[in-house]
Structure 1
Amino acid sequence: MTDVDDLVPDSTVRNIEQAIARSAFAELTAFISPLPTGQIVAILERLDSNERAVAYRMLPKGRALEVFEVLDPSLQSDLVLALQDEQTAELFADLDPDDRVELLDELPANLARRLLQGLPADERDMTAEILGYPQGSIGRRMSPEFVRVDPEWTTATALTKLSDHLDDAETVYTLPVTADDRTLIGVVSLRELLKAAPGTTVGQVMQPAQWVHATDDAETAARRCADLKMLALPIVDHETRIVGILTVDDALSILEDADSEDQARISGVEPLRRPYLTAPVLGLMRSRVVWLLVLAVGATLTVQVLEVFEETLAEVVTLALFIPLLIGTGGNTGNQAATTVTRALALGDVRPQDLGKVLFREFRVGLSLGVVLGGLAFTIVSLIYGVDIGTVIGLTFLALCTMAATVGGVMPLIARAIRADPAVFANPFISTFVDASGLLVYFFIAKAVLGI
């Protein structure tokens, strides 16, 4: 995914598209080759699949690999399917093992198998090791390419060891310190190695290690890396032997993907997992239609409630005027609470065990909102429609805001407790629930106050 600073003018994209259409390959090379990697990625994300493959083939070999590594795995998959076997195998072999696994998850099984078989034995073993961890675990996103040092080594020896692996190590700024059996003992930074006095051992300057298990959830591990502000977080097995590292750039990428997924589901769509302009129209439709069908079925509850209270509405037609206002306010109140708690869950501020605390807090928030909005509604509606109608609307606001905030606050916690995605329980389902239950509350209050 590209940053705003990497975007290029539409005129540049049009020039490239026209050069491709005319098969003016020399002109296309002159347009695209001098651009920075980020801008090339931004251009490729705006082209269709055939144009993207043509433009990519015009890049020099070194630039092509740089660009390929930055592309989303879905676009990497598109290019692999469009390129010749020899070029595909070369690109695949040059990827880091963790990036290679992400690409394999996007490819057809037969092609993935063929590419794996074409790797050198050591690269194939590292890739297979990562593939052995469960989907969604940090083991699938870690890098097995790291430099570990011994606590008995001098800092000079450690620096010599490090210099021998500058080309193949994922990072050199944070180094795990291990025993002979790879058991993690601590970590040491490059800064500490460089400033240590001659003869100092690694064990004298190392720090206690923070780590996560390879089978832990990827988002949880990435959040831990970000919270600890670590450049690299060691990944260990259940015997505390190091198996890989998670670098901060990979952690931020995981968190960005998770945030995009949550925002999509909160809005009632499935995440695209690829840049918008590269997503096929059918894919966009599929990402939305399921949720629309679910919400349409849920909305039938609202219709049934209206049907039950049809006679009440016939007696006091004025009540119908306030239905959109009431269910809209209730839905928004529930959505605000659900979104706030979902975000707090993602940040680790609350846990499912905090259900009681969250329920009590959101009950008080909803009650406070109900008092403010209900009091305002009572005053305005009473002046226009009379005190009786004003009382109904005011009391409904009070009850609806309290109920919506309470339910909206606890639903994400319940979702996490049953191992469901909290974002799924947010806006779409909260709105449907509050619409139906809010109408029930409204009509029961109306019947009690108006005596109908």
Structure 2
Amino acid sequence: MNNETLIENEARAEALEQAIADQDLVATADLLTGMGTTEIIEVLERLNTRERAVVYRLLAKDRAIEVFERLDSTLQSEILSGLQDEDVAAVFAELNPDDRVALLDELPASVARRLMLGLSPTQRILTATVLGYPQGSIGRSMSPEFVTAHPAGTVAETLVKVREQLDDAETIYTLPVTDAGRLVGVISLRDLLRAEPDERIGELMSVPESMGAEVDAEAAARHCADLKILALPIVDREDRLVGILTVDDALRILESAESEDAARTGGSEPLRRPYLATPVASIVRSRVVWLLVLALGATLTVQVLDLFEATLEQQVVLTLFIPLLIGTGGNTGNQAATTITRALALGDVRPRDVLQVLAREVRVGVTLGLLLGSLGFVIASAVYAVPIGAVVGLTLLGVCTMAATVGGVMPMLGKAIKADPAVFSNPFITTFVDAAGLILYFLIAKLVLGI
């Protein structure tokens, strides 16, 4: 997309928002007609609940369904609450089974039951299949609508089958090959079109990559992305094909997981919806719990300062370096934690690699401590005195080593006990390093300065 197109899109979006603000429904409808689906979604995500419902009602039926499918499930739920019952049933029936399940999780149980009863028997069975798997598993995010091939079938027969199910299948570019329901191979549409009509599928298929339906959704999505395939077959415990994970769904799962990690690393809960579409109360709730936890943790720092009050009274200059030392320690720990959390998500390291990670982070911490400690020693010695410089330099060496080590190990500990590694990252590490770093600082000062 070139700059001129971007400018035009922004101008249309601004004009649409102005028409909505002016309550000019005619102008709003006209502007919506000339906008693409992605543009409309971006505008909807910026509106409040009432405005979003008004704009959605002005969309043509086909466009409305297309837009609805691509919205977050929380926004879908809000839009449904503003539609008539018959409109709700129509929109719900047009969704793919996996999208329906995500929406059902956001709706009241009574509404969910009513919508399920309104589905055709076939769609009700497909949706119930996805609903039957645990939340957080890939079975909950897979699509049960797919086209299969049989190893004894010919290319011509398979292509006829693909054409017959073209409108119902989630994807046709990768076809699972099954025999008596069990996954035995995969074949791409490209290979089908390249082959002779009378060739057998069993001669053309390749060895399949698959995932169990109860595997964690993020792990399955990561596997699909790593393999760089368009669709990953999902099987049950007996290796029977139950669904497929398409690459677009895999990317959506990974985007959601990374947004969650980023939020928790920063000390808040994920919003799970666009920022401007999130009520202020929800933003407050996502942050206040962590702030209270961190505030309680910060009392450790206060207790340490109180414990070494006599030391500070003898050498008041030591107070000047407290922000430098605890800031450097916190930043060093956060860097290590963020790196290891990311490595865990990518599968680069596993909890059993803890000793290797520990050894590497100790070396990294010592190296950083030597560099920063040497600089701190030179500056503090020049401005104050050599003993003060020695205290600062040695403390930086110790704090960096400790922070890098703790920052590297804590996410792995979280992973080992089945907790979110991001929760064990920056907020708690910062609190721990602040208190431990101050203790180290005052102990070194008492030793070097003899106070």
For residues 154-303 of structure 1, what are the structure 2 equivalents within 5 Å? 154-180=154-180, 182-303=181-302
- TM-superposed CA distance for 1:13, in Å, is 4.5
- Matched position secondary structure for 1:335: helix
- Counterpart of 1:271 in structure 2: which amino acid? P
- Counterpart of 1:273 in structure 2: which amino acid? R
- TM-superposed CA distance for 1:120, in Å, is 0.8
For residues 389-400 of structure 1, what are the structure 2 equivalents within 5 Å? 389-400=388-399
**Contact 1:188 1:206 (C-alpha < 8 Å) held by counterparts:** yes
CA distance in 2, matches of 1:8, 1:166: 35
- Counterpart of 2:360 in structure 1: which amino acid? R
Which residue number corresponds to residue 123 of structure 1?
123
- TM-superposed CA distance for 1:108, in Å, is 1.4
For residues 435-446 of structure 1, what are the structure 2 equivalents within 5 Å? 435-446=434-445
1:11-68 deviation per Cα after TM superposition (whole angstroms, max 9, x unaligned)? 6445434544555332221111221000111111111111111111111111111111
- Matched position secondary structure for 1:207: coil
CA distance in 1, matches of 2:19, 2:211: 50
1:277-296 deviation per Cα after TM superposition (whole angstroms, max 9, x unaligned)? 00000001111111110110
Which residue number corresponds to residue 64 of structure 1?
64
CA distance in 1, matches of 2:426, 2:435: 14
Which residue number corresponds to residue 96 of structure 2?
96
Which residue number corresponds to residue 106 of structure 2?
106
**Contact 1:145 1:244 (C-alpha < 8 Å) held by counterparts:** yes
**Contact 1:270 1:288 (C-alpha < 8 Å) held by counterparts:** yes
Which residue number corresponds to residue 361 of structure 1?
360
**Contact 1:266 1:427 (C-alpha < 8 Å) held by counterparts:** yes
- Counterpart of 1:114 in structure 2: which amino acid? R
Which residue number corresponds to residue 135 of structure 1?
135
Percent of pairs with identical residues: 62
- Matched position secondary structure for 1:46: coil
- Matched position secondary structure for 1:208: coil
Q: Which runs of 5+ in 2 are unaligned?
A: none
| Structure 1 residues 10 and 148: CA distance shift in structure 2, 3 A | closer
CA distance in 1, matches of 2:393, 2:308: 20
**Contact 2:387 2:449 (C-alpha < 8 Å) held by counterparts:** yes
CA distance in 1, matches of 2:363, 2:19: 63
**Contact 1:8 1:39 (C-alpha < 8 Å) held by counterparts:** no
| TM-score in terms of structure 2 length | 0.97
Which residue number corresponds to residue 87 of structure 1?
87
- TM-superposed CA distance for 1:156, in Å, is 1.0
CA distance in 1, matches of 2:392, 2:156: 77
- Matched position secondary structure for 2:305: helix
1:63-117 deviation per Cα after TM superposition (whole angstroms, max 9, x unaligned)? 1111111111111111011111110110000000001101111111111111111
- Counterpart of 2:55 in structure 1: which amino acid? A
CA distance in 2, matches of 1:254, 1:139: 13
- TM-superposed CA distance for 1:197, in Å, is 2.3
Which residue number corresponds to residue 331 of structure 1?
330
- Counterpart of 2:138 in structure 1: which amino acid? I
Deviates more, 1:159-168 or 1:10-19: 10-19
1:201-222 deviation per Cα after TM superposition (whole angstroms, max 9, x unaligned)? 0000100000000000000000
- Matched position secondary structure for 1:396: helix
- Counterpart of 1:119 in structure 2: which amino acid? L
**Contact 1:335 1:426 (C-alpha < 8 Å) held by counterparts:** yes
| Structure 1 residues 74 and 331: CA distance shift in structure 2, 3 A | same
CA distance in 2, matches of 1:287, 1:118: 35
- Counterpart of 1:38 in structure 2: which amino acid? T
Which residue number corresponds to residue 50 of structure 1?
50
| TM-score in terms of structure 1 length | 0.97
- Matched position secondary structure for 2:257: helix
- Counterpart of 1:331 in structure 2: which amino acid? G
| Structure 1 residues 174 and 14: CA distance shift in structure 2, 3 A | closer
Q: Which runs of 5+ in 1 are unaligned?
A: none
CA distance in 2, matches of 1:7, 1:144: 40
**Contact 2:172 2:189 (C-alpha < 8 Å) held by counterparts:** yes
- Counterpart of 1:106 in structure 2: which amino acid? E
CA distance in 1, matches of 2:347, 2:137: 18
Q: Does 1:344 align with 2:343?
A: yes
Which residue number corresponds to residue 430 of structure 1?
429
- Counterpart of 2:39 in structure 1: which amino acid? Q
- TM-superposed CA distance for 1:388, in Å, is 0.7
CA distance in 1, matches of 2:78, 2:322: 49
CA distance in 1, matches of 2:268, 2:48: 23
- TM-superposed CA distance for 1:7, in Å, is 9.0
CA distance in 2, matches of 1:91, 1:8: 30
1:333-359 deviation per Cα after TM superposition (whole angstroms, max 9, x unaligned)? 000000000000000000000000000
For residues 363-442 of structure 1, what are the structure 2 equivalents within 5 Å? 363-442=362-441
